[in-house]
Amino acid sequence: MLISLVGLPGSGKSTVGRQLARRLALPFFDSDHVIEQRLGCSIREFFEREGENRFRDVEEAVLDELTQGSACVLSTGGGSVLRSMNRLHLRERGHVVYLRSTPEEVYRRLRHDRNRPLLQVADPLQRLRDLYTVRDPLYRETAHYVVETGRPSVSTLVNMIMMQLDMAGISGGSQPAGSEADNG
Instruction: Give the domain ranges of the chain.
Output: 2-173
What pLDDT was estimated at residue 112? 76
Where is 29: in which H helix or E strand? strand 28-30
pTM of the model: 0.88
Q: Which residues are annotated as a binding site for substrate?
A: 32, 56, 78, 135
Confidence of residue 172 (pLDDT cuts 50, 70, 90): low
pLDDT in tens, 88-142: 999 999 999 999 999 999 998 887 777 676 677 889 899 999 999 999 999 999 9
Annotated binding-site residue numbers = 10-15, 32, 56, 78, 116, 135
For the annotated binding site for ATP, the residues are 10-15, 116
- Cα 135 to its chain centre, rounded Å, is 12
Which of 47 and 156 is assigned the larger pLDDT? 156
The superfamily (CATH) of domain 2-173 is P-loop containing nucleotide triphosphate hydrolases (3.40.50.300)
